[in-house]
Structure 1
Amino acid sequence: MAKSSARLNRQFDRLERRVPNFASGWLAWIRRPQARWVRIPVGFLLLLGGVFSFLPVLGIWMLPLGLLLLALDLVFLQGPVNTAILRGSRKWATWSRARRDRNAAQH
């Protein structure tokens, strides 16, 4: 369990480095143990918003963010969320590399 928690924290650290400063500060605040009472309801609201992504304003982006926030507190979600993040990162890197190579070949 500690291994998946550490991996999740590394993923959050990586995310904090990649987002704009205002979002990075919010992420740092929401990860604090004292923010648990805010984090859990926000996670559930994001999941609910993701389910209703067919409505305007709401989007599918809310599902992974809600799961990510909930995984900080719900240990049974840490393994699947870590796996999804790693697989998604690998697929994104593969897709980006193929796209870059394809664009380079065209020019």
Structure 2
Amino acid sequence: MMDWDLFWKASGVILPLLVAIYTFLATRRTDVDKQFEAGDERMDRHEGRIAWLEQTVQVMPGKDDTHRLELMLSEMSGDMKAMCSTMEGMKASLQRTEDIVGRHEDHLREKH
């Protein structure tokens, strides 16, 4: 015959343990699926962002382009300095011409 006292004591330990294992296994599967779905969505967003960054970087100027631009700016700076010195010479020449014309005007005024 069965000892009912031992049966109830054993079921008090084993039954909650079985319920805990069942609950863990039943809920774990849906949580894992939800986590995988969230991970898939996040990976899709990351792939889109990475593709956008790759396209952006491909159209950006490289170091050779930047160096070429730097050389062109340096050349333009030299040209501007040359133009500035030429303009200074022209300014001095124009000032001398204005002085001469002024003296001619003064001379013509004195004669009349």
What TM-score results when the alignment is normalised by the length of structure 1? 0.31
Who wins on radius of gyration, i.e. which is larger?
2
What TM-score results when the alignment is normalised by the length of structure 2? 0.29
Structure with the higher helix share, 1 or 2: 2
